[in-house]
C-alpha cells in the first residue's frame, strides 16, 4: 500500500474517532460510569463517622430479600405497569386512528390529546390532587350531584394505586399517540382502498393490515411505556409519598426515599441495580417477543 494511502486511511480513522468522542464521553460519564459506581457501592455497608463503610459483598442484596417494604414496592410496581402500559397504548392507538381521519377541528383535537404530555409532572400532580381531594375535589363533587358518596381516593389503600394509574394513563396516552399518528401517516391509503374492494370490514383491515404495519412503532412505544412505569417519583412525592402504609410505594420512589430520607446510599445503590436488571430483562423480553411479529417495510 502506498504511503499516501496509509496516511489518508489513518486520517480517516482519526476524524471518525474525533466525531465519535463527544457522544462517547457523555455516554461513559452519564451512563456507564454511574452504573459501575452504583454496582460497587452496593457491595459496601452504610458508613458514618464512627463506623466507616466496609466491603460486605452481597450483604445488601440479602437484606433486600428480607425487606418487606421492597417486596411491597415491587408488587405495586408490577401492578402499576400492568395497569398503565396496555391501557395507555390502546388509548394511544384509538386516539391516533381518530385524529388521522378528516374531521372538523382535527388540529384542535390533536392539541387537546397532546396537551397533558407537555405539562410539568408537578403541575399534573397538583391538578389531580384537586380531583382526588375528599369532599371538595372534582370527582367527589360530581359523585355528589348524582347521589353517590365520595371517598378518600388517595388515603385508601384499596384505591390509591388505581388513582395513580388513571393519572399516569391520562398523562402518557397523548404522548404515545404522536408516534402512532406519525406511523399511520406513512401508511399508503391505497391499502385501505384495496381492502374495501375486497369487502374487508374496518376491524379486519385494522387487524390484518394496519396493526401489523404498526408493530415497529408498537415495539418502540412498549419499551418506552415500560421504562416510564418504573420511574415515577414526582407524582408520588406530591400526592402520597408512598402511603398509606406503602400502598402506593414504587421501586424508584423507594430508592429515592432510601437515599435522601434514610441516608442509606449503599442500600439505594442495591435497589438501583435490581431495578436496572429488571428493566433490562423486561425490555429484552419485549424485544424478543414483539420483534418476531414486526413487518419492516
Q: Which of 30, 183, 20, 16 is nearest to 96 (CA)?
A: 183
The mean per-residue pLDDT over the stretch 285-291 comes to 76
DSSP 233-263: -HHHHHHTTT-STTTT--HHHHHHHHHHTS-
Q: Per the structure block, which three cell numbers stand in for 183?
A: 406511523
With cut-offs at 50, 70 and 90, classify the pLDDT of residue 16: confident
Convert the pLDDT of each residue in 41-78 to its tens digit: 999 988 777 788 888 989 999 999 999 999 999 999 99
pTM value is 0.87
> Could you tell me the domains of the chain?
72-291 (1.10.3720.10)
**Alpha-carbon separation of residue 89 from 19, 50, 221, 297 (angstroms):** 37, 52, 8, 22
> What share of the chain has pLDDT > 70, as a percent?
95
Give the C-alpha separation, 235 to 53, whole Å: 33
Convert the pLDDT of each residue in 83-135 to its tens digit: 999 999 999 999 999 988 877 877 888 888 888 888 888 888 888 998 998 88
- Torsion, Cα of 38, 43, 45, 49 (10° steps): -60
Give the C-alpha separation, 37 to 240, whole Å: 31
Convert the pLDDT of each residue in 215-257 to its tens digit: 889 988 998 998 899 988 888 888 998 888 899 999 999 999 9
Convert the pLDDT of each residue in 143-187 to its tens digit: 888 888 888 899 889 999 999 999 999 999 999 999 999 999 888
Q: Per the structure block, which three cell numbers stand in for 78?
A: 408490577
Question: For the purposes of burial, counting CB atoms within 10 Å of the CB of 295, is it exposed (0-12), middle (13-18) or buried (19 or more)?
Answer: exposed
Q: Which of 200, 183, 207, 218 is nearest to 289 (CA)?
A: 218
- Which of 3 and 24 is assigned the larger pLDDT? 24
Amino acid at each position: 500500500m502506498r504511503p499516501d494511502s496509509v496516511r489518508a486511511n489513518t486520517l480517516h480513522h482519526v476524524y471518525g474517532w474525533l466525531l465519535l468522542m463527544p457522544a462517547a464521553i457523555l455516554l461513559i460519564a452519564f451512563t456507564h460510569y454511574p452504573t459501575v459506581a452504583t454496582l460497587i457501592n452496593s457491595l459496601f455497608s452504610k458508613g458514618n463517622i464512627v463506623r466507616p463503610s466496609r466491603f460486605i459483598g452481597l450483604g445488601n442484596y440479602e437484606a433486600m430479600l428480607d425487606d418487606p417494604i421492597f417486596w411491597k414496592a415491587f408488587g405495586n410496581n408490577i401492578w402499576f405497569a400492568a395497569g398503565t402500559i396496555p391501557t395507555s397504548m390502546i388509548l394511544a392507538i384509538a386516539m391516533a386512528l381518530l385524529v388521522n381521519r378528516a374531521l372538523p377541528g382535527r388540529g384542535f383535537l390533536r392539541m387537546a390529546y397532546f396537551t397533558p404530555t407537555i405539562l410539568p409532572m408537578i403541575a399534573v400532580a397538583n391538578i389531580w390532587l384537586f380531583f382526588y381531594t375528599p369532599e371538595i375535589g372534582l370527582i367527589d363533587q360530581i359523585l355528589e350531584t348524582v347521589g353517590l358518596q365520595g371517598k378518600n381516593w388517595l388515603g385508601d389503600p384499596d384505591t390509591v394505586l388505581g388513582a395513580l394509574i388513571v393519572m399516569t394513563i391520562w398523562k402518557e396516552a397523548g404522548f404515545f399517540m404522536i408516534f402512532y399518528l406519525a406511523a399511520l401517516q406513512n401508511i399508503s391509503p391505497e391499502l385501505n382502498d384495496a381492502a374495501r374492494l375486497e369487502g374487508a370490514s374496518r376491524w379486519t383491515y385494522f387487524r390484518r393490515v394496519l396493526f401489523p404495519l404498526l408493530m415497529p412503532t408498537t415495539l418502540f412505544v412498549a419499551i418506552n411505556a415500560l421504562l416510564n412505569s418504573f420511574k415515577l417519583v414526582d407524582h408520588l412525592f406530591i400526592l402520597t409519598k408512598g402511603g398509606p402504609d406503602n400502598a402506593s410505594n414504587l421501586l424508584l420512589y423507594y430508592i429515592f426515599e432510601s437515599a435522601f430520607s434514610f441516608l442509606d446510599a449503599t442500600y439505594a445503590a442495591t435497589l438501583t441495580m435490581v431495578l436496572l436488571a429488571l428493566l433490562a430483562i423486561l425490555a429484552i423480553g419485549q424485544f424478543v417477543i414483539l420483534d418476531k411479529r414486526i413487518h419492516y417495510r
